[in-house]
Structure 1
Amino acid sequence: MKISTKGRYGLTIMIELAKKYGEGPVSLKSIAQGNNLSEHYLEQIVSPLRNARLVKSIRGAYGGYMLADEPTNITAGDVIRTLEGPISVVEFLDEEEPAKRELWLRVRDAVKEVLDSTTLEDLANHSEDHDHGYMFYI
């Protein structure tokens, strides 16, 4: 399974919203600028997230997007499935011989477990811990 830029940028949007959770709406422009991404592309990605009720939009001069639920209740799996579809590592799994089929099912289940056990809060906290860069001592 290869996650496309759609899934990766969608996760970026959601992590940024998780970092600002409780502070009001966040504009896609600020997310795009802060992550050096195309605002136009983010606008296309946020629509399925809104339709899946993972984010809500606020209109107006001070509008933007907010998480529809607490960051602890939204997983990376929720975001990836919304933007990429079902999690699968091999197409036409039924055509595989039993031993290989079992392997691909185990790989799929392991990927699902990681995505579904990682919340936006986990990702937001992890990225904040690493925003400070590296400290080198000589």
Structure 2
Amino acid sequence: MKISTKGRYGLTIMMELASRFGEGPTSLKSIAEKNGLSEHYLEQLIAPLRNAGLVKSIRGAYGGYVLSREPKEITAGDIIRVLEGPISVVDFAEEDDPAKRDLWKRIRDSIANVIDSTTLHDLINYHELGTSDNYMFYI
């Protein structure tokens, strides 16, 4: 499985909102400018995140987006599944060999375990500290 720009930029949006949690709405324009991304593309990504209940939109001159829950309550898996779909490395239905099928399932489950146990809070703390000393991910 390869995470596309949808998943990667979606995580960027959500990390920006998490880092500003409790400070009021954040515009997509400011996120796009800060990260050198297309505001138009981010607009396409925010809609499914809003529909999934991960973000709320605030209208008005000082409007923008806020997380619908605390950063500790939203995982990378929540975001990636909304934007990328289910986690799968291969189509199990096409695999006849039980040993290989088991391998693919264990890889899928390991990936799911990492993204489902990594919250936005974890990601922004990791990003702010700029160190990998606190995390060891096993896939």
- TM-score class normalised by the smaller sequence: over 0.9
Alignment of 1:68-107 (within 5 A): 68-91=68-91, 93-96=92-95, 97-107=97-107
Offset from partner CA, 1:47-81 (integer Å, 9 cap, x none): 00000000000000000000000000000000000
Normalised by the size of structure 2, how large is the TM-score? 0.92
Residue 122 of structure 2 corresponds to 122
Normalised by the size of structure 1, how large is the TM-score? 0.92
Structure-1 separation of matches of 2:88 and 2:68: 27
Structure-2 separation of matches of 1:35 and 1:130: 17
Stretches of structure 2 lacking an aligned partner (at least 5 in a row): 132-139
Aligned letter for 2:6?
A: K
SS in 2 for 1:100: helix
Once superposed, which parts of structure 1, at least 4 consecutive aligned residues long, lie more than 4 Å away? Answer: none
Aligned letter for 2:124?
A: A
Aligned letter for 1:77?
A: G
SS in 1 for 2:88: coil
Shift of 1:129: 1.5
Q: How many residues align?
A: 130
Shift of 1:2: 0.4
Stretches of structure 1 lacking an aligned partner (at least 5 in a row): 132-138
RMSD across aligned positions (CA)? 1.0
SS in 1 for 2:13: helix
